[in-house]
Chain A
Amino acid sequence: MHNQTTEILKPYSINNDNKIEFVGGHGFSNHKRHLILNREFGSSILIDHEHYQQLKNKIPTDDLQFKLIQRGFMKVPGSHECQSEESILPKFFIIDLTQACNFRCTYCFRHLEKESKTISTKVLDSIIDYIADYCGKTNQREIHIQPWGGEPLIAWDKICRIQDRLKGKGITSIITIESNASLITKKLAKEAYQRDIRIGVSIDGLEEIHNLQRRLANGKPSYDKMIQGMMNLREGGYGIRHGIISVFTKNSLPHLEEMLEFFAVELKVDRFKLNIVKDSPVMKDKGLCLSNSEIKDFQLRLLKKLIELNKRGYPIIELNVLDKLQNILNRNKSNICISRGCMGGKKMIAFDMDGRIFPCDITDYKEEAVGSIFDGKELITLLEKAHKEKDFFSEKTSELCTDCPWWFFCKGGCTTAIKYKKGVVKGVDAAECVSNRTLYPELVKLILNEPEMVKVLTKNKLEIV
């Protein structure tokens, strides 16, 4: 276990004619190397002990002052202000294509048991045209589309239609689908690969847990169908370059290590995403949700197991860990969803089957619509108005947020998770709060003590030298 100290570095001025101010920060130390983090803007800097002492003693050298100015930790008259607010400029579009689903997952937060509606071609074309018009006005030529459901592959023809129609308007769409994989035939896999459509397979880990949580609509287990679909994807051209998304529940908790072992060793997966199950009033099995202490346990064990697998020669990463490492070291917006707090209504929006526009995938909560494509109003206008008027966009804080080092990256967490759990947007996303307060300090420890693991766990995106 590595020792690490954390302290708050208070702001101060340097008494010289240049009017230099240190704006303060959180200092994390292992007594050899130190990471300073600005909670308000998410910038950081790594320095050795000698420079850390200079900073603490208010005698930073000119070289250190320059580095601190460029990272937003010091100000001189005329220096630029760090920016923390995100502009309203959606680049990621979720389209609710179908409410039909051939699965009945125990944690599903949609009421789809009796639904089979799929979006009409007329409304879909209108949504695509609305997106294309917006892209033209905002000079965007490449956007992300996530067809959503239900099981989106039930509406495969509509997915192809989205891509083709946008292409006809000169817009490249990067299409990402999260699928239960049961409908992935060899033919579909090949066509999806040729179309460069990204597909993530939902798999809840070991067979027993997967079948417990993800049953077919007829009540039968789904594991074999999922595996067959995944194998079809691989043979269709994807190899192992398809996504893996798992919903992590109380059922999964005792088996976390086995689950990761299975992904890395048996399935030879090199990246996956574990999403902690979201609590909601419509969840059939309330016993699936993790307590705060279980979330903490999960995050610690996840990181430990990832490191162990990589050291054993299995190059596997978890995407939330990747996002958070990038956040600390260069606040990269790799996660469109919550890299810097909720991006709903800023960088991403969702459309329902009637053309209503939502800040995120909360299309079952009609009161959260910010407008409709049929209102005759431009997207940015609708979103700007909604930001002023709707609770969805209000600041989310709790007493724990005061002085929390991870504030910039969290900002109260996932707004939709709060809405699902409470029915209203009030307070913070408690699960994300616990996750951040657990995982970020561990990642800082890793950065300070085993910097070589950063390269491994970010697939060479970041390297500490």
Chain B
Amino acid sequence: MKVYSFTKENIGLFYLSPYVEFIISKDKTVFRNDLFNKITIAPPIKGNAELVIEELKKGIEPDLALQFIKQNFDGNNPQTILDGLLQNGIIE
């Protein structure tokens, strides 16, 4: 797990929270934020799930977040998925 020390270079990026654990399966992706005890169930990840999670750990530009979700998660409403991940502290 990467824990970021925030600076002006990276504080604007979205990251997978270090307080999150996740289970990836064929029909869904389950994230749990331990800090808030909140579970978010997202659609399954397309393609190589490990790589997608790794990208989230490395950080993504907020402007590209919606596109990232659209590209990497199944489902018709990427905005709803992104909102869920942000509201429940999965992405910070």
Q: Is the CB of A46 within 8 A of B4?
A: yes
Q: Is the CB of A47 within 8 A of B35?
A: no
* Of the residues B5, B7, B17, B37, contact of A464 by C-beta under 8 Å: B5
Who on chain B is nearest to A78 by CB? B87
Asked if A56 CB lies within 8 Å of chain B CBs, one says: no
Q: How far is the CA of A84 from the CA of B68 in the complex (A)?
A: 33
How extensive is the interface on chain A, given as a class?
20 to 34
Chain B contacts to A: CB under 8 angstroms: 1-8, 11-12, 17-19, 34-38, 88-89, 91-92
Are B3 and A329 in touch, CB under 8 angstroms? yes
Name A47's closest neighbour in chain B (CB-CB). Answer: B6
Rounded to whole angstroms, the CA-CA distance of A71 and B18 in the bound complex is 9
Task: With A72-B36, A80-B38, A80-B88 as known contacts, state yes or no: A330 contacts B8, CB within 8 Å.
Answer: no
Question: Could you tell me the distance between the alpha carbons of A276 and B36 in the complex, rounded to whole angstroms?
Answer: 33
Contact (Cβ within 8 A) B5 A47: yes
> How far is A193 from B87 in the complex, measured between Cα atoms in Å?
45
B1 touches A43 (CB 8 A): no
Q: CB distance A63 to B38 under 8 Å?
A: no
* Of the residues B2, B6, B89, contact of A80 by C-beta under 8 Å: B89
Q: Provide the main secondary structure of the chain B interface.
A: loop
- Residue contact A50 to B8, C-beta cutoff 8 Å: yes
B35: contacting residue among A48, A64, A67, A331, CB under 8 A = A331
Known: A71-B92, A330-B18, A331-B35. A33 touches B3 (CB 8 A): no
Query: Which chain B residue has the least Cβ–Cβ distance from A70?
Result: B92
Contact residues in A for B88 (Cβ distance below 8 Å): 80
B residues near A298, Cβ cutoff 8 Å? none
A297 CB to closest chain B CB, in angstroms?
30
Nearest CB in chain B to that of A460: its residue = B1
Contact: B6 with A72, CB < 8 Å?
A: no
Closest 10 interchain pairs by CB?
A70-B92, A80-B36, A46-B5, A330-B18, A83-B37, A48-B7, A63-B11, A47-B6, A63-B12, A329-B3
Q: Does A157 touch B at the CB level, under 8 Å?
A: no
